[in-house]
Every structure is written in C-alpha cells, then in structure tokens.
Amino acid sequence: MNRPSDPYVIPWTGENTSVAPVRVTPAGVAYADPVLDALQRDLDYVLWDVCGGTATGRPAYTAELHPERQRTAMEGFLCAACKKPAARDRRGMAWVLPLPQNGPGCTRWENVRTEIPPMCTGCVKTVPRRCPRLRAGHVELRVRQAERIGVRGTLHPRPATPGLRAERGVLVLDDSPDLPFVVARQVIRELREVTVVSLAATV
C-alpha cells in the first residue's frame, strides 16, 4: 500500500508485469486466455499489460510508471502522486515534468508528448523534493488541452511478417492501423496551449 510520501503512479519493487501468453492473428494481438483478454481491454478495445505482485518493498523511481495506475490517473486527470483531481486554474491543468538531460533550452513545451499524469496543487510543491527524476530538474506547466494521442507498449508484428520480433516501448497513435497489435503500458497525451509557470534546475 502506498504511503503519503510515495507517488501513486510509481511502481514498487514487489510489483511486476506478468508475461501472459499472447496470440497474433490478422485482426490483432490477444491473450491466449479469453477471460484475461476481456479483462485487460479498455473502452477503446486496446489490450493492456497484466500487472502482478504486491505494493511491497520500496518505490522504484527509475522504473517505468505502473501501467494500471498510470492509465487510471491519465484517463481521469488525477494527480500522479496522490490520486486527487488535478489542479486547474484559468491557465489550465497543472503538469510537472522532468527537464531533459540536455537542458530546458532544448525543449519546446508546446505539443510535448508525455506519459506523466497531471498533479494537484499540494503535490506540485512537495513531490519534486521527493522524486529523484524531478529533483534533478523540472518544469511546472499549466495546460489547457491534453488530448490522448495514443499508447506506448509492445508492438507485435503481423502474422504475414515472419522473422520480425515484438518491439517494446513503441508509441502507437490512436488512429494507427498498428493499434490492434500493441499491448499497451502507458497512455500518452499531447500537451497544448501550454504556459510555463516555473523552471527548476535542481531541488
């Protein structure tokens, strides 16, 4: 169970994503178990990774965000840290993103694509001090539009392309013909009408 100091979307070392058997047909990828397949599909019929284990051990800040909790926060515009509704004002919704390693001057924040959910007012101030990725440098944004554009996950080759292997970490757009062939791990949103509130090199 996550403590108040442990961000909601961060996985724990006791958690994992199970490697469930899949089958690939001309219609797309599916889990071999039809019951599991039905349970792991979202409202758009996208197939999602199976999450297992327990929230024990320690927070794995350097790992990919927990697929199930990341999707819950992104789809509901909930705080990435505490699961409360994200902060909003006339400039839009609050987002806090890590700075790229090559510095803030190399990033154009308008139309940036991210897997990180928004944040509430309280967590905007406190989470950057606890999260190593944000402590190394972050930007606080206000965003008026945050459209879901796709998912990132494991893209499986079509049956007619023998010899190719599944590719992990692929961004597949919602209007892509590849969408039925991906096992998703992260919702991706594109941030638009962005206002930069503040930049912090280190905390």
Contact of 49 with 82, CB cutoff 8 Å = no
The model's pLDDT over 165-201, given as tens digits with 9 standing for 90+, comes to 999 999 999 999 999 999 999 999 999 999 999 988 7
Residue 170 within any structural domain of the chain: yes
Residue 8 within any structural domain of the chain: no
How high is the pLDDT of residue 4? 45
If one compares 101 and 154, the residue with the highest pLDDT of the two is 154
**Domain count within the chain:** 1
Number of H helices, E strands in the chain: 4, 11
Residue 1 within any structural domain of the chain: no
* Global confidence as pTM: 0.91
Per-residue pLDDT, averaged over 146-156, amounts to 98
Residue 3 within any structural domain of the chain: no
Residue 189 within any structural domain of the chain: yes
Residue 76's domain comprises 15-200
Per-residue pLDDT, averaged over 21-28, amounts to 95
Residue 141 within any structural domain of the chain: yes
Contact of 170 with 153, CB cutoff 8 Å = yes
- DSSP three-state, residue 30: strand
Contact of 85 with 135, CB cutoff 8 Å = no
**How many CB atoms within 10 Å of residue 179?**
19
Residue 6 within any structural domain of the chain: no
